Structures are given as C-alpha cells and as structure tokens.
A and B are shown apart, each in its own frame.
Chain A
C-alpha cells in the first residue's frame, strides 16, 4: 500500500526567505502532483511530475522529482504572504488513477 509522508507538517516562513517542503513515498509511482488548498476551499493543481529528474517552476514555486529516492520537493523562493496555504503532494500508481495524498504542509508567511 502506498504511503505518502510530508514534512514539515507546519512551516512558519518569513517573507523574503527560501524554504523547502519534502514529500516521501513508499512505492513506485506513475505521477506526482502538488496541490494548494486555502482554508475551507478546494484543491488547486500546481504541478504534475512524470519522470525522474522532472523539474517544474511557476512563479516562486519550484517542484522536483527524484524517483530513485522516492522524493519530491517543493521549493519556495522569497516567500510572500500570498503563499500562505496548505500544500499537499499526491501520487497515482500503476493503472489506478486514484490519488493518495500526503499529510499536508501548512505554510504561514509572516512579515
């Protein structure tokens, strides 16, 4: 059974500084997704990573995937308040298209 762990669970960030969220998973996966969720809202898709070494960037966020280490990272550059939210990684495996989510990382950006 696929297990997905994220750390840290909570991250208090200072504006302007850089931070990294880690997503570890237990078995081979087809695709890795990163989602953002604002309080009480639905999930917003940020990135889809398909292969080893994949890197995607959008604004201050950059996601990467190392399938050999079964690790994905979400790097935040020069944090700003608008990035405050909960971030989830999620994976699909084999022919199953169901998503297995990590525990989530709540980011809070302070001045």
Chain B
C-alpha cells in the first residue's frame, strides 16, 4: 500500500516565478491538507481540500492556491514567489473513516533565490 507521495522532491525557483507542487494521497483517503514548514519551525497549515473544494484555509495570502482532482490527488500553486516562500512543503492525507488522522508525505523542498 503506497503511502502519501509528493513531487518533485526538490526544486529551485527565482523570485517572481510560479511553482506547482503535487501530492497523491494514501490509498483510501479523500482529504488532502498542505503545510509549510520553514527552517527551524513547526509546520503551518495552508489549506485543506475535500471533494475537490477548499474546506479550510490558514493565514496564507491568495498567492497560495490549490486544487483537488477527482482521484483525490492535489496540487499546491504558489504565484509571485518570494524569498520567504523557501520552505519544506508537506502534504498530508486523511479520511473521515480514519477519524481524520493525517499521514504525511516526504515533502517538497522549495528554494527561492
């Protein structure tokens, strides 16, 4: 049983560019949450998708947007990248039948130069 997968593993972008990160949830999970973890800090909740809609959102600007597909996979898009967007981006999947316990993927390390 494949766990949560994310791609790419690492990427480097320049300020002002746009980036798309991808996540495939654990088999049987229908909810995907995204977190940003800056170096030396705890993860911060960005947003959560369920049934292809954004269900909850954290304190992140509109530059951060997402999408969930019918197969429950998800994308995180960040526009107009800033240096401060450099972080580890974690995807977590869960399901209501699993009482929303979240399983984390390996993360995508984004560096903005």
Interface residues, chain A, with chain B CB atoms under 8 Å away: 31, 33, 35, 40-45, 48, 88, 90, 92, 96-104
- Known A98-B56, A101-B42; further 14 A-B contacts with Cβ < 8 A: A33-B101, A42-B104, A42-B105, A42-B106, A42-B107, A43-B104, A96-B56, A97-B56, A97-B102, A99-B33, A99-B45, A99-B92, A99-B102, A101-B43
Interface Cβ pair total, 8 Å cutoff: 53
**How far is B33's CA from A43's CA once the two chains are assembled, in angstroms?**
14
Contact B48 A98 (CB under 8 A): yes
Nearest 6 interchain pairs by C-beta: A101-B42, A97-B100, A98-B45, A43-B104, A42-B104, A42-B106
Pick from A42, A43, A45: contact of B101, CB below 8 A.
A45
Contact A45 B48 (CB under 8 A): no
Pick from B43, B48, B94: contact of A43, CB below 8 A.
B43
Pick from A31, A42, A98, A102: contact of B90, CB below 8 A.
A42
Asked if A97 meets B105 with Cβ closer than 8 Å, knowing A88-B42, A92-B100, A104-B41, the reply is: no
**How far is B33's CA from A102's CA once the two chains are assembled, in angstroms?**
18
- Confirm or deny: B58 has a beta carbon within 8 angstroms of a beta carbon on chain A: yes
Contact A97 B48 (CB under 8 A): yes
Residues on A with C-beta less than 8 A from B90 are 42-43
Contact B101 A98 (CB under 8 A): no
| Interface size, chain B (Cβ < 8 Å) | 25
Residues on A with C-beta less than 8 A from B44 are 101
Residue of A with least CB distance to B46: A98
**How far is B40's CA from A101's CA once the two chains are assembled, in angstroms?**
13
**How far is B43's CA from A103's CA once the two chains are assembled, in angstroms?**
9
**How far is B39's CA from A40's CA once the two chains are assembled, in angstroms?**
9
Contact A98 B58 (CB under 8 A): yes
Binary A-proximity of B82-113 (CB < 8 A = 1, otherwise 0): 00000010101010000111111111010000
**How far is B102's CA from A16's CA once the two chains are assembled, in angstroms?**
32
**How far is B103's CA from A37's CA once the two chains are assembled, in angstroms?**
13
Q: Separation in Å of the B100 CB from the closest CB of chain A?
A: 4
- Confirm or deny: B24 has a beta carbon within 8 angstroms of a beta carbon on chain A: no
